Amino acid sequence: SGLSRDMPPCEAARYANAAAAISVTRHGGSSAPTDAETQEFLARRVQAAIAQDRERQATT
């Protein structure tokens, strides 16, 4: 977990939410994502947010 890695609470919560978002898309009891999967998910979300922000700025 993020807290066990000494992440600040806000960052640990973001990490936990990302892991949960991935796990609910899977079947079975071993649906927890790996650290790499969670980090990739977070990176994609950041890139998507940056793209949306740029798009909004271009239209204003």
**Res 42: pLDDT:** 96
pTM of the model: 0.74
Into how many domains does the chain fold?
Answer: 1
Confidence at residue 5, expressed as pLDDT on a 0 to 100 scale: 80
CA–CA dist 55, 33 (Å, integer): 31
- Residue 58 in tokens: 């271009």
Instruction: Find out whether 18 and 38 touch, Cβ atoms under 8 Å.
Output: yes
Give me Rg for the CA atoms of the chain. Answer: 14
**What sign for the dihedral angle of Cα 39, 41, 47, 49?**
negative
Please state the separation of Cα 15 from the chain's center in Å: 6
Range of the domain at 39: 3-58
Taking only the tens of pLDDT, the chain with its 60 residues reads 677 788 999 999 999 999 999 999 988 777 889 999 999 999 999 999 999 999 999 987
Identify the pLDDT of residue 1. Answer: 65
